[in-house]
Amino acid sequence: MNKLVVLAFLTLPSFLLLKNQSAEIEKTPVASMQPSLKNGEAIFKKYCISCHQADGGGVPHMTPSLIKSKYVTAEKDSVIKILLNGLQGREINGQTYNNPMPPLGAVLKDKEIADVLTYVRNSFGNKASAITESDVKKARGNANTASK
């Protein structure tokens, strides 16, 4: 019995340490996402920050918030198409936003779109899967096919 108490006493700190480490790992994006997040942040600052603001909060009745946004973390294809084609006069969560989002499909390369969307989907309280260059290529292909 004493051996069990000593064993439990000795293993408890290790268990707690591992539990805390796994909680920290869940909070941080996957290491393979880091280059995409860094590049995506730079793209966000260049093209998106003036409307969506540095904190992702947007501007009421003009530009939607990106903070903990189900809109941002929804299906990859829908958020990619918004960046490619722009968006105007959309109602989100009962509020209409009138500031048109310009289409960035002709301005940004597929990798840049993937990076900025990965950044937004993993910033501002959001947590979602990364978007890859091939996801964007596929969405562009579907958009080109749909318009013919």
Distance CA 6, CA 117 (A): 51
Q: Where are the domains of the chain?
A: 29-147
pLDDT score at 144? 58
User: 1-52 pLDDT, tens per residue?
Assistant: 555 444 444 444 444 444 444 333 344 557 889 999 999 999 999 999 999 9
pTM: 0.76
Q: Does domain 29-147 have CATH number 3.40.50.1820?
A: no
pLDDT at 71 over 60: yes
